[in-house]
Structure 1
């Protein structure tokens, strides 16, 4: 081959290398754009999770793990989620799911209680496995292409859903105390304290004002208060004894005087006073002897 032929081969080889490099660069740009779009798009997932306060309760969670908000989230399942009855007379119910969630911000979630594991294990014929799909859209519109410049719809994303309540069946877990348990303990203590205070209040209301039937609070110590009360009782007894002695002395002084004074007889009100006859001298007739009989006056 002549030098001109070799020069032509080299030129074509350079062109081929340039074409391959361009294709690789375009592919890398495309992959970078896809990765950027995937990082920027929302990522909404529906799953189950035990409740933090009590792991016997299972919760439903719809969460956006993406970097951008998700809009118009809709859940479609093969059959309704069933929940165990609240009491013995009730029947199997369904979990209320929203027909549409308008928006979920990044790391925002929707959470609801599904069921209680011990209660659910006592019910027969309840469905525990559910499958479905979760659809949502992002905040950006679809990328317009040269063959469809009129296309202005938003990007719609889909994620599969598979819920199984029996995933934690026959499993064990360490019971860990949390703030929720502390709050329940405090509520129990407050309830018992309230009942005790109510009982104390009722007891206090039943007391009267009598000192021996009520509750008295003294600022001094019990020994000092007891000694003070004993001293007060002793002083009251001493005063009473002195009062009795003075009363007895006065009584002894009054009794002899009453016995020495003559008795005064009361004159009955109905008795008439006695009138004495006048003497003979005052009447002018002299003394009349008892031996001389009086003469009869002659009849006129």
Structure 2
């Protein structure tokens, strides 16, 4: 390259050198791009967070709408010493195809010093909200004296929720608190029903025979007046008899 050609190249570079205004425009454009990119990133993050929040809310609402079937022990209406095994749906929707399993197998006293299994259904097909299934588990006053029966049973309740989603709840039946418990006799509706049955049976035995029931009626005022009159006559007669006896007494002569 000749000296003349090199000088011409330097002039061309100097003539095309960016001005301060060009530099400011380029910087402003770059900042605008960066701000736009940051805004886009923030917006994407907010959309992602909002979507996650919606999914979480949807999941929570679904969980709240699921059935919640549990098994537990509860005092029977017959008396506080009678224990029932209860399976109840505390959820807001129906539970379906409910199954129970326990280890060891649930058993109870049989009243004769032996034991028997607590019979559980193979499946409870349907339990509406607040609906329950129950059966006799045992008599606590008899169970408390048995050392050959388990005190703790562990089990699980499996069932179907919304869209047949599998659900389950764990169960622990602990009978140790019942061993030291005192069971006062509390008379309730069941006892009243039994008393009414006894009254009904006794009424059926009533008859007009000498061994049956007898019903008396009376007119109070008339009966009382008659009794008073009879008493007055009896008193007068007794006084007359005493007077006659006094006249006939030899000592009187």
Q: What's the CA shift string for 1:131-165, capped at 9, x where partnerless?
A: 1211111252xxxxxxxxxxxxx311111121122
SS of 1:131 mapped into structure 2: strand
SS of 1:7 mapped into structure 2: helix
Given the alignment of the two structures, is residue 162 of structure 1 paired with residue 172 of structure 2, yes or no?
yes
Which of 26, 47, 56 is the aligned partner of 2:81?
Answer: 56
Which of 56, 77, 83 is the aligned partner of 2:108?
Answer: 83
Distance, in Å, in 2 between the alignment partners of 1:216 and 1:165 is 57
How many residue pairs were aligned? 206
Given the alignment of the two structures, is residue 128 of structure 1 paired with residue 151 of structure 2, yes or no?
yes
After TM superposition, the score normalised by the length of structure 2 is: 0.68
- Name the one with the larger helix percent: 2
- Report the structure number with the largest CA radius of gyration: 1
SS of 1:107 mapped into structure 2: coil
Given the alignment of the two structures, is residue 107 of structure 1 paired with residue 117 of structure 2, yes or no?
no
SS of 2:134 mapped into structure 1: strand
Structure 2 CA distance for partners of 1:97 and 1:17, relative to 1, 3 Å: same
After TM superposition, the score normalised by the length of structure 1 is: 0.58
Which of 118, 137, 142 is the aligned partner of 2:141?
Answer: 118
Aligned to 1:224: 226
- Name the one with the larger strand percent: 2
Q: Is the 8 A contact 1:58 1:113 kept in 2?
A: yes
Q: Is the 8 A contact 2:79 2:186 kept in 1?
A: no
Aligned to 1:269: none
Structure 2 CA distance for partners of 1:55 and 1:28, relative to 1, 3 Å: same
Aligned to 1:69: 94
Where do residues 1-300 of structure 1 align in structure 2 (5 Å cutoff)?
A: 2-88=27-113, 91-140=114-163, 154-171=164-181, 177-184=187-194, 186=196, 190=199, 201-203=209-211, 220-221=222-223, 224=226
Q: What's the CA shift string for 1:71-117, capped at 9, x where partnerless?
A: 110111122111012224xx211111111111111110001111111
- Give 1:123 shift: 2.1
Distance, in Å, in 1 between the alignment partners of 2:210 and 2:61 is 72
Distance, in Å, in 2 between the alignment partners of 1:33 and 1:10 is 34
Q: Is the 8 A contact 2:205 2:212 kept in 1?
A: no
- Give 1:33 shift: 1.1
Q: Is the 8 A contact 1:62 1:111 kept in 2?
A: yes
- Structure with greater contact order relative to length (CA < 8 Å, sep ≥ 6): 2
SS of 1:60 mapped into structure 2: strand
Distance, in Å, in 2 between the alignment partners of 1:25 and 1:159 is 32
Q: What's the CA shift string for 1:37-71, capped at 9, x where partnerless?
A: 11221111111112234111111111111111111
Q: Alpha carbon RMSD of aligned pairs, Å?
A: 3.5
Distance, in Å, in 1 between the alignment partners of 2:44 and 2:204 is 88
Distance, in Å, in 2 between the alignment partners of 1:123 and 1:44 is 31
SS of 1:221 mapped into structure 2: helix
Q: What's the CA shift string for 1:197-250, capped at 9, x where partnerless?
A: 57x844469xxxxxxxx999775416527958x99xxxxxxxxxxxxxxxxxxx
Q: Is the 8 A contact 1:135 1:159 kept in 2?
A: yes
